[in-house]
């Protein structure tokens, strides 16, 4: 490492303040001359590399070990091991350090460049300038620390992967948005990824031409968070994963297509079944329902969060999850194909299981007025009667121009606490009602507002009804387009 008086700026050409589109810009100091030092290294290790004069200011006299740790803790997201949102300022952390802290003085520049944890985050999108110089600098200055890699540029994905693959053993958090054919190349590279914890893959479509795009995860025994997103799925594609026994959170989102073999997803998750805590799935019409409904029940004892959107509600017929605390249920609305099962029957099957969840605290529900007939309303109410522990209820209400409130009106009426009836959801303390569109006739809008106002006023204070304690609503939010 150079002496203090020999240290140079991270980027001698960066003179403008940082902006959202900036990254580290070339020309950059040859990084080979900078030796990275762990942030927990002893003071003596820093002292070898810096000549500190007696006349330096108090700030410059800070011990190098302390200074390094301060730089690390300036990052709010440091050490969380999760994906960084693309709209978060944290994605500019390396650049911001380069144009602020590293510009205070040469000592601080050298300490910043020698503190590997500062440079472990590589985020590349269409706002990233000089991404190759930026990525190369972070790879070298990060030393042996684990890396967070997020790339949102499909057209340069092969180049990015070629640059990053030599450091595969350091990958900890990875988000790749490209084509599955390029992601499949990770398995062809024959490299291992032993430190992977969180993986997010988003691509165009799942197809049999790329049969095993996730094979590169084999041997990544520390993965606990896996997110898969695709636009389409071929009819002959069968979802599969390597045997990963450590997944605690899994999410599958197929935007505009069917999942033709939904049972394969449950099979893929079986090795992690005992520890899976969060499961989220979204896909369109599940063509082959019998292969799901005829499965032996899948026991998920650790599952706490379950979110099923569109046709994924069919999993409720095969999942046994007695400890679910948060449930999100967003069925399709009008069922496009006759063979698709009734979503509310799936919900009923889930709560009618001998090991049905008894401690659901939060329920998020999409109600499509067009499909809530008297039978569906009766099923919904029978499910709500099982949820005495429910504390949070969020209802998204969807109507079309030809709809009236119909049977769904009875669902809202049932939430009113009356003195002569046993209360529904006695522990409810937060309720949110949101209409998702503006197709309300004036009379229906007024009826709906009156009903909701009655629900709120009946729960405004805690009381005892028919021998049962009813808590007061502490939060009640209504959104109905005018």
Helix (H) or strand (E) holding 382: helix 374-384
The pLDDT of 227-239, averaged and rounded, is 83
pLDDT at residue 1, rounded to an integer: 35
Cα-Cα-Cα-Cα dihedral sign, residues 79, 82, 86, 88: negative
* CA distances, 22 to each of 2, 19, 141, 161, 244 (Å): 27, 5, 19, 22, 38
The pLDDT of 434-445, averaged and rounded, is 68
pLDDT at residue 85, rounded to an integer: 60
* CA distances, 366 to each of 333, 343, 396, 398 (Å): 9, 11, 5, 7
Q: Indicate the SS3 state at residue 257.
A: coil
Neighbours of 87 (CB within 10 A): 8
Write the pLDDT tens digit of every residue in 160-218: 888 899 999 999 999 988 787 778 888 888 888 999 999 998 887 787 777 678 888 98
* CA distances, 160 to each of 105, 118, 135, 136, 377 (Å): 33, 20, 9, 10, 52
Neighbours of 342 (CB within 10 A): 15
Q: How many Å apart are CA 229 and CA 70, to the nearest integer?
A: 37
Write the pLDDT tens digit of every residue in 381-416: 899 999 999 999 998 877 665 555 566 778 888 999
pLDDT at residue 14, rounded to an integer: 34
Q: How many Å apart are CA 460 and CA 355, to the nearest integer?
A: 34
> To the nearest whole number, what is the mean pLDDT of the chain?
76
Give the distance from CA 123 to its chain's centroid: 17
Task: Decide if pLDDT at 287 tops 70.
Answer: no
The pLDDT of 61-82, averaged and rounded, is 64
Q: Residues with Cβ < 8 Å from 403, sequence gap 6 or more?
A: 369, 370, 439
345 burial level (CB within 10 Å; 0-12, 13-18, 19+): middle
Query: What is the per-residue burial (b if ≥16 Cβ within 10 Å, else e) of 391-406?
Result: bbbbbbbbbeeebebe
Which has more confidence, 304 or 5?
Answer: 304
Rounded (5°) CA angle 370-415-455: 105
Domain ranges within the chain, ordered by starting residue? 1-124, 361-482
pLDDT at residue 60, rounded to an integer: 61
Q: Are 176 and 183 in contact (CB under 8 A)?
A: yes
pLDDT at residue 312, rounded to an integer: 86
Q: How many Å apart are CA 57 and CA 80, to the nearest integer?
A: 34
Q: How confident is the model at residue 433 (pLDDT cuts 50, 70, 90)?
A: confident
Write the pLDDT tens digit of every residue in 143-158: 888 888 888 877 778 8
Q: Are 257 and 206 in contact (CB under 8 A)?
A: no
* CA distances, 224 to each of 57, 234, 246, 319 (Å): 47, 27, 5, 20
Query: Strand 225-233 to strand 198-206: parallel, antiparallel, or no bridges (unpaired)?
Result: parallel
Q: Are 154 and 183 in contact (CB under 8 A)?
A: no
Q: How many Å apart are CA 76 and CA 74, to the nearest integer?
A: 6
Task: Decide if pLDDT at 459 tops 90.
Answer: yes
pLDDT at residue 457, rounded to an integer: 94
pLDDT at residue 43, rounded to an integer: 42
Helices (H), 30-114: 43-47, 64-73, 93-99, 106-114
Q: How many Å apart are CA 312 and CA 329, to the nearest integer?
A: 9
Give the rounded percent of residues in the chain with a pLDDT score beyond 90: 24
Cα-Cα-Cα-Cα dihedral sign, residues 123, 128, 133, 137: negative
Q: How confident is the model at residue 87 (pLDDT cuts 50, 70, 90)?
A: low
Q: How many Å apart are CA 152 and CA 136, to the nearest integer?
A: 17
pTM assigned to the model: 0.79
């Amino acid at each position: 490492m150079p002496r203090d008086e020999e240290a140079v700026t991270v980027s001698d050409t960066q003179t403008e303040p940082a902006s959202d589109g900036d990254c580290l810009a070339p020309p950059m100091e040859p990084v080979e001359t900078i030796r990275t030092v762990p942030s927990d290294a002893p003071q003596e290790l820093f002292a070898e590399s810096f000549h500190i004069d007696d006349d330096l200011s108090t700030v410059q006299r800070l011990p190098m070990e302390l200074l390094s740790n301060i730089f690390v803790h300036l990052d709010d997201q440091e050490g969380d091991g999760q994906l960084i949102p693309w709209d978060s300022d944290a994605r500019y952390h390396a650049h911001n350090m380069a144009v602020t802290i590293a510009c205070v003085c040469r000592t601080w520049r050298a300490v910043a460049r020698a503190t590997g944890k500062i440079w472990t985050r590589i985020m590349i999108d269409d706002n990233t300038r000089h991404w190759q110089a930026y990525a190369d600098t972070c790879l070298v200055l990060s030393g042996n620390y684990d890396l967070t890699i997020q790339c949102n540029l499909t057209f340069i994905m092969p180049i990015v992967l070629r640059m990053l693959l030599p450091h595969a053993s350091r990958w900890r958090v990875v988000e790749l948005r490209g084509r599955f054919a390029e992601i499949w190349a990770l398995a062809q590279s024959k490299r291992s990824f032993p430190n992977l914890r969180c993986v997010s893959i988003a691509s165009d479509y799942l197809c049999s031409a790329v049969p095993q795009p996730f094979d590169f995860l084999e041997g990544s025994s520390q993965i606990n968070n896996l997110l898969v997103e695709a636009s389409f799925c071929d009819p002959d594609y069968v979802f599969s994963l390597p045997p990963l026994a450590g997944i605690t959170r899994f999410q599958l989102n197929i935007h505009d297509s069917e999942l033709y073999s939904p049972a394969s997803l449950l099979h893929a998750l079986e090795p992690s079944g005992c520890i899976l805590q969060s499961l989220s799935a979204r896909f369109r019409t599940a063509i082959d329902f019998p292969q799901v409904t005829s499965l032996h029940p899948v026991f998920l004892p650790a599952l706490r969060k379950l979110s099923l959107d569109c046709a994924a509600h069919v999993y409720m017929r095969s999942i046994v999850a007695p400890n679910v605390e948060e449930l999100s249920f967003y069925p399709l609305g009008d069922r496009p194909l006759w063979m698709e099962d009734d979503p509310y029957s799936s919900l009923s099957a889930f709560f009618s299981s001998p090991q049905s969840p008894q401690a659901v605290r939060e329920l998020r529900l999409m109600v499509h007025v067009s499909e809530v007939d008297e039978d569906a309303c009766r099923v919904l109410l029978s499910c709500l009667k099982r949820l005495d522990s429910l504390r949070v209820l969020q209802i998204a209400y969807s109507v079309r121009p030809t709809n009236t409130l119909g049977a769904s009106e009875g669902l809202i009426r049932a939430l009113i606490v009356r003195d002569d009836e046993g209360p529904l959801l006695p522990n409810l303390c937060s309720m949110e009602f949101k209409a998702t569109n503006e197709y309300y006739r004036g009379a229906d809008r007024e009826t709906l507002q009156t009903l909701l106002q009655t629900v709120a006023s009946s729960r405004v204070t805690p009381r005892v009804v028919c021998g049962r304690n009813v808590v007061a609503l502490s939060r009640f939010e209504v959104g109905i387009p005018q």
